[in-house]
Amino acid sequence: MAMPSSIPYNPKKNSKRKAPILLFSGDKGGIGKSFAARIFAGLLGQWGYSAVGFDGDARNAHLERYYASVFPVGRPYLRSEAGWAQMFDGWEAVADETVILIDTQAGFGEVASQQKAAILLATEKLQREVISLWIADEEEDSVRLFKAAPELAPSDNTFFLMNGRFGSTLAEFVIWRESQTRAQALARGVRELLLPALPIRARTRIARAHAPFYPRPQIGLSFSETIEFDLWWSRAEEACEPVLKKIQEIMA
């Protein structure tokens, strides 16, 4: 049995304002954007929220592959005007209390810069706030691209997510930790999170089965793998608690 949550959630039936849009970006491939989106997709279900996904990664589509059996996941092609129109129309059709997740492709920053005015206008008209989740590895590119990325959410709705596969502590993200970009971002209200790395045995089993993290994967994990997964899931939930609190604040 998965470890019980210690984090209170805001039941959607009590929400007064529209649920936010969670935007997962990072502007380069292989850094775990989809992994982070999958974690939050599972946590939203565990926290009691409904979700709808839009998977803009035309090559890999991990969010669709792992979660299409749990909630609807659209596949807009975000390198074309038609794809953006498809996604905007999809947003309009989503129920007010349902959280929207957007997984993005490598190179999203350039496209998002071109679409920034449309994105901001669409979210304003729909009265949905954006929570921006920037996924990073330990390299200089993640810091540079973060600094250059278009601002699609206010600073206090922005999170810099360090992928634990590239370092288990903040100290290992040396370039980010010592950068002026970090100092300036934190001063503006941006927050940083460290996503724990999923142990390789459970990660491999889940990947082969294309199983979601929640509802709990029923894929025949061994007892030791179950222990590893449950401990990791508990750590992931704890790490992501600030985002839950932001969602609660937005929907209060």
Tokens of 128: 């949905």
Domain boundaries, the chain: 18-251
How far is Cα 48 from Cα 11, in angstroms, rounded to an integer?
6
Q: Residue 215 has what pLDDT?
A: 87
Residues 102-134: tens digit of each pLDDT: 999 999 999 999 999 999 999 999 999 999 999
In tens digits, the chain (252 residues) has pLDDT values of 344 444 444 444 445 699 999 999 999 999 999 999 999 999 999 999 999 999 999 888 999 999 999 999 999 999 999 999 999 999 999 999 999 999 999 999 999 999 999 999 999 999 999 999 999 999 999 999 999 999 999 999 999 999 999 999 999 999 999 999 999 999 999 999 999 999 999 999 999 999 999 988 789 899 999 999 999 999 999 999 999 999 999 999
Q: Residue 130 has what pLDDT?
A: 99
Terminal CA-CA length for the chain: 31
The CATH number of 18-251 is: 3.40.50.300
- Whether the CB-CB separation of 49 and 21 falls below 8 Å is answered with no
Q: Residue 12 has what pLDDT?
A: 44
Chain centroid to Cα 80, Å, comes to 23
Q: Residue 216 has what pLDDT?
A: 82
Q: Residue 11 has what pLDDT?
A: 43
How far is Cα 25 from Cα 4, in angstroms, rounded to an integer?
29
Q: Please, what's the b/e burial string for 95-134 (b: 16 or more CB within 10 A of its CB; e: otherwise)?
A: eebbbbbbbbbbebbebbeebeeebeebbeebebbbbbbb
